[in-house]
Amino acid sequence: MSKKVTRISADEYFLKIASVVAERSTCLRHHMGAVAVKDKHILTTGFNGAPAGVKDCLELGCLRNAQNIPSGTRTEICRAIHAEQNVIIQAALHGISLDGCTIYCTHTPCVLCAKMMVNARVKRVVIFTKYADDSFKELFREAGIQVDVLDKPSATISFLE
């Protein structure tokens, strides 16, 4: 008797990858990950954390927690670069166009990340967790960026032995 083999969808596959990317986060509040994909190929990845080469919140503590700043507000008081920003920065560093790509992200974007995605000409954003800032919705609607909210992918990795 053989076991029935199933295959996850491409959307679930890339959301799972975004979840694994989020494990590299150095943020003490939220681990966020993002993956830019075009034609089912990964272009870049990013997670939230301090700029390269500088001390992060794991080492120094969270500025926002120390000041009791609620999630989704006063984002300028933070050491971290957002996962979506890092996806765009990595693309720029490596000469990769994000025009027409899909960004798979663990959370909905803040408005600043949303503005950057509009200018990078992202066409679709797929997420599974809501962040505290909803101001991206109107901007994406106006810019024609499709947003798909899917179920959180299983944390289980399934493979045949």
Catalytic residues: 84
CB-based contacts of 66, cutoff 8 Å, min separation 6: none
Q: How close are the terminal C-alpha atoms of the chain, in Å? A: 16
Report yes or no: 63 and 79 within 8 Å, Cβ to Cβ.
yes
Rounded distance between C-alpha atoms, residue 87 and residue 109, angstroms: 12
CB-based contacts of 52, cutoff 8 Å, min separation 6: none
Amino acid of residue 103: I
Q: How many residues does the chain have?
A: 161
